[in-house]
Structure 1
């Protein structure tokens, strides 16, 4: 990618810039409605965030990883959310793509998502949600099924603002500010 491929990050006035990717063979061919992507596009602005880019790709991990890298390089979103491709089907490889772009993983996000899903179905343990940090961007891979997407995002929703502040290196994300008034939590970052 050349310097000419760069573009200015979008101005989103006090909102976290977010990119959304649906990973679905059928969806990328227009053979399936993108219900999870549509729901995420409606829910994420409540963060508060601004959706700066949305796309859909087939279950091809190299394409997914390339899309994530290019999107981060060009748009510098605070958050990239991928939906789909986290199951056990032979073509479900979104977690592998996300892990290849990450500087480090945030295991608690995937654990919380699976725990929340397990309250509704024992099959939740078969999902492979992941979250990584790539530079100053949080990248999450959520399931493609609408209910599983909703449960997964809800499971990490309360932690997202603080995570984004910490990743961005904002002063408000210091341990003291993040845990103000809570005893016994100091130093848990």
Structure 2
């Protein structure tokens, strides 16, 4: 989410970094779009990705800070049906080991229909660090969401 990026005034390096971080044997990147920091535009885009494209996972980047224009969490909250607080909690907790600024993130995660939406930071470094924190659990979470897995706990967990 970026006003400048959507106007072509800034190159989107974060989406490239996210794509490079995802294991191509587990994830395929189907869609990338730069959306301005407008709550209605973000909501419409998220609804399209979940309801029409029926993607398993939507990773947003940007718009999670304190700026007046940072509205990605609000747009996400407006479209999700279930909150998944553990994901941003884990991202903030682990990121706090790197920088105290992690506590300033307002990122959220949630489910709409059969799609998991996760807000990531706008910087390539922050987005990749946060994505790496949640990647070990994502495949299983998506399998459960899609009804492809039922056993959540194992004796060795």
Q: Normalised by the shorter chain, which TM-score bucket?
A: over 0.9
1:57-98 Cα distance to aligned partner (Å, 9 max, x none): 111111001111012222110011100000011100100101
Partner of 2:153: 179
How far 1:133 sits from its partner (Å)? 0.4
Aligned length, in residue pairs = 157
User: What SS does the aligned partner of 1:33 have?
Assistant: coil
- Alignment of 1:81 onto 2:59: yes
1:156 aligns with: 134
Instruction: Give runs of aligned pairs for residues 108-127 of structure 1, distance below 5 A.
Output: 108-127=86-105
- Where 1:129 maps in the other structure, the secondary structure is coil
Shift of 1:45: 4.1
Structure 1 unmatched ranges of 5 or more? 1-22
1:116–1:151 contact (8 Å) kept in structure 2: no
Which whole-Å CA distance do the structure 2 matches of 1:115 and 1:81 have between them?
19
Contact 2:21 2:128 in 1 (8 A): no
Q: CA RMSD in A?
A: 1.3
Kindly indicate whether structure 1 or structure 2 has the higher relative contact order, using CA contacts under 8 Å at least 6 residues apart: 2
DSSP-derived class of the 2:44 partner: helix
TM-score by length of 1: 0.79
Deviation of 1:154 after TM superposition, in Å, equals 0.9
User: Scaled by the length of structure 2, what TM-score is found?
Assistant: 0.94
* Contact 2:64 2:120 survives alignment (8 Å): yes
1:43 Cα deviation (Å)? 2.0
Shift of 1:29: 1.1
The structure with the larger Rg is 1
Q: Does 1:96 align with 2:37?
A: no
**Which digits, 9 at most, give the CA deviation of each residue in 1:27-48, with x for residues without a partner?**
1111112111111122224461
Q: Which consecutive residues of structure 2, in runs of 5 or more, have no partner in the other structure? A: none
Could you tell me how far apart the structure 2 residues matched to 1:68 and 1:25 are? Answer: 17
